[in-house]
Chain A
Amino acid sequence: MKNWTWLTTITLITIILVAGAYYLEVFPTTKKEKLTVSTTTSLYDTGLLNVIEDTFEAKYPIDLQIISRGTGLAIKLAQDGDADMMLVHAPSKELPFLTQGYGVCRKIIAYNFFAIVGPETDPAEIQGLTTLEALTKIVEAGRKRQAMWISRGDESGTHAKEKELWRAANFTWEELRSETNWYVEARKGMGGTLILASERSAYTLTDMGTYLSHSTADLIALKVFISQEKELLNVYSAIAVNQTRHPHTNFNGAINFIKFLVSDEGQQLIGDYGKNEYGQPLFYPAVKLLQESNDPLANLIREYALFNGTECPAEYRYGHSELYD
């Protein structure tokens, strides 16, 4: 018994030590500077950021550390200085982030459209309707217990968008929220919310990227009813953390990464991503488009995501006005 015990002990210790040594050897903790990026889930879960990370790290001596947790938490982490920059999609939450002095150097990097998805059977009969009509129909059907709506319910960018949509359709979100027999808060990420909606045959609001990846993997059986409408516009921005407030943050790294994202190369990566796998891009580059003066889509983005006609008011540019030339 004794020998056997010692043999096992030695074997176990050896396995752990060898694994540890090998791990440190093969995957050394890089001497490169770290850049912690807190991001909305849609950019990461679709795999886009993986591609961007590989290209970016090959060019710069920077180790990107990506934390993917939805816009609500992404903002919280950046606000507390636990991240160096953030990638988010909620203009209504981004403006206070700048004005309260937490963020600087905001740049719009990409856009796409949200989609209203639901069960094939379409119990609320929203096929062919506009966004706001469809939402009204869903509420009516919901109150008759004929349809269900699943909300992210997690203060994410998609959740913020959902609340804006209810307001635009003349509903009070707080009131809908109390009607728990048809309005359900998932309090999950987008993937989990879609799976829940699919299991319960319910409608929900989603970003196209997460919808396509889950649909292709056969994890959900939901159909897109409405997308590509101006109310469903979805704009992604990058914001660096204000170094005056959090001196320990890697501000220069953040600026480098933002510059890469808005460069021709970065924009091309964004625009090409998903074409092979899904037959359509998941995100559209926004930089060139915003330079067009009279494009209707560009005007829409300006109306939705600019603050007083600018991506980032001059006082929050932190000495990097070259980003806005």
Chain B
Amino acid sequence: MNSEIIEIVLRSIYVSGTATFLSAMWSIPLGLTIGIKNFYGKRLVKGVFNAFLGMPTVVLGLVLFLLIRHAGPFGFLNLLFTPLAIIIGQALLITPIMISFTTSAVESIDLDIRDLAKTLGATEIQASLAVLKEAAGGTLLAFIASFNRAIAEMGIAYMVGGSIPGFTMVLTTAIALQRDMANIELGLTLAAILLSIVFAINLILNLIQKRRP
């Protein structure tokens, strides 16, 4: 039983951690762009991402399930009921969070830095990197909040992961399953672990927010 718990905890961190990094690959550049650039419809774009902050996980899970099942348009990828399916689903789920956090982090710093960097001969990308460096605290916040949302979600893990023991079962789906199997003690142990992870992350989040200038 013990190695089973460790396995589930590690899998959860692995799946949600990978999802966070995967999402960062597109979310941070996008958030940065939206934060720095002024363009027509910027408020609309930000509004859309804000609206998707509250995306119900089961809805996303259901849509993904329909897309990747064998009869679906992406069935040939053989993704259904694999950890990778959960990773992709969670990465999509947290995209709006990451973009919103990054955008507001960038907007909260003085954009003169960018102009300054540019007058000193920096290219567009170098100037953006200078801004990102200033917004490091806020970007970290985006990471942590996203990871938190990913590891605590259940709808996607259940719908596209299938909660297969030893393969795609993560903390949230394991807890639900223990109720169905009438293993209340094991369920409580897993719940305590998940809570500890979420609380620890929130603590870090609060510390960072407090220390932000």
Interface size class of B (residues with CB under 8 A): 35 or more
Q: Are B71 and A81 in contact (CB under 8 A)?
A: yes
Q: Are A80 and B18 in contact (CB under 8 A)?
A: no
Tell me whether chain B's interface is mostly helix, strand or loop, or mixed: helix
| In the complex with contacts A67-B81, A80-B69, A217-B164 CB distance below 8 A | no
- B211 within 8 A of partner (CB): yes
* B contact residues around A192 at 8 Å (CB): 179-180
* A contact residues around B204 at 8 Å (CB): 8, 12
* B contact residues around A41 at 8 Å (CB): 180
- Chain A: minimal CB distance from B209 (Å): 12
| In the complex with contacts A5-B137, A19-B10, A20-B18, A50-B182 CB distance below 8 A | no
* A contact residues around B17 at 8 Å (CB): 15-17, 19-20
Q: Are B7 and A82 in contact (CB under 8 A)?
A: no
CA distance A65 to B168 in the complex (A): 9
- B166 within 8 A of partner (CB): yes
- B140 within 8 A of partner (CB): yes
- A45 within 8 A of partner (CB): yes
Tell me whether chain A's interface is mostly helix, strand or loop, or mixed: helix
Which parts of B73-101 form the interface with A (CB within 8 Å)? 78, 80-81
- A58 within 8 A of partner (CB): no
* B contact residues around A19 at 8 Å (CB): 10, 13-14, 17
Which parts of B1-55 form the interface with A (CB within 8 Å)? 7, 10-11, 13-14, 17-18, 20-21
Q: Are B165 and A27 in contact (CB under 8 A)?
A: no
CA distance A275 to B11 in the complex (A): 33
Which parts of A166-200 form the interface with B (CB within 8 Å)? 189-192
Q: Are B71 and A213 in contact (CB under 8 A)?
A: no
> What 0/1 readout, one digit per residue, does chain B (200-213) give for beta carbons within 8 Å of chain A?
00001000100111
Q: Are B14 and A45 in contact (CB under 8 A)?
A: no
- A36 within 8 A of partner (CB): yes
Chain B residue nearest to A189 in the complex (CB)? B180
> What 0/1 readout, one digit per residue, does chain B (152-179) give for beta carbons within 8 Å of chain A?
0000000000111111000000000101
Q: Are B211 and A50 in contact (CB under 8 A)?
A: no
Q: Are A27 and B11 in contact (CB under 8 A)?
A: yes
Q: Are A191 and B70 in contact (CB under 8 A)?
A: no
- B181 within 8 A of partner (CB): yes
* B contact residues around A190 at 8 Å (CB): 180
- Chain A: minimal CB distance from B100 (Å): 19
Q: Would you mind naming 21 contact pairs between A and B with Cβ atoms under 8 Å apart?
A: A5-B208, A16-B13, A16-B14, A16-B21, A16-B147, A19-B13, A19-B17, A22-B10, A23-B14, A26-B10, A36-B81, A63-B166, A63-B167, A65-B81, A65-B164, A82-B69, A82-B80, A82-B81, A190-B180, A191-B180, A191-B182
Measuring CB to CB, which residues of chain B are less than 8 angstroms from any residue of chain A? 7, 10-11, 13-14, 17-18, 20-21, 69-71, 78, 80-81, 136-137, 140, 143-144, 147, 162-167, 177, 179-184, 204, 208, 211-213
Q: Which 3 A-B pairs have the closest CB atoms?
A: A16-B17, A23-B10, A217-B182
